[in-house]
Amino acid sequence: MSHFTLTIKTDNAAFEEPAQEVARMLRELADRIDRDSELPDVLPLRDLNGNRVGQAETDGHHD
């Protein structure tokens, strides 16, 4: 069984409207995954200001 884990820190200025910023990041992440056609082990997540605020991670087993 494989796992996909998403971690986002929401404690900075870009998250004044947290729902909107998380939704924007999820749309961007979905576009990147769709464009690349596969899941890398780690994808860094950046807020609207360009700060790294989390990551999407797979365990490497893509059965």
Alpha-carbon distance of 48 to 16, in angstroms, equals 11
Contact 15, 21 (CB under 8 A): yes
Asked if residue 63 has pLDDT above 90, the reply is no
Q: How many CB atoms lie within 10 A of CB 48?
A: 15
For 40-54, write each residue's pLDDT tens digit. Answer: 899 999 999 999 999
Query: How do the domains of the chain map onto residue ranges?
Result: 4-58
Contact 14, 21 (CB under 8 A): yes
For 17-26, write each residue's pLDDT tens digit. Answer: 999 999 999 9
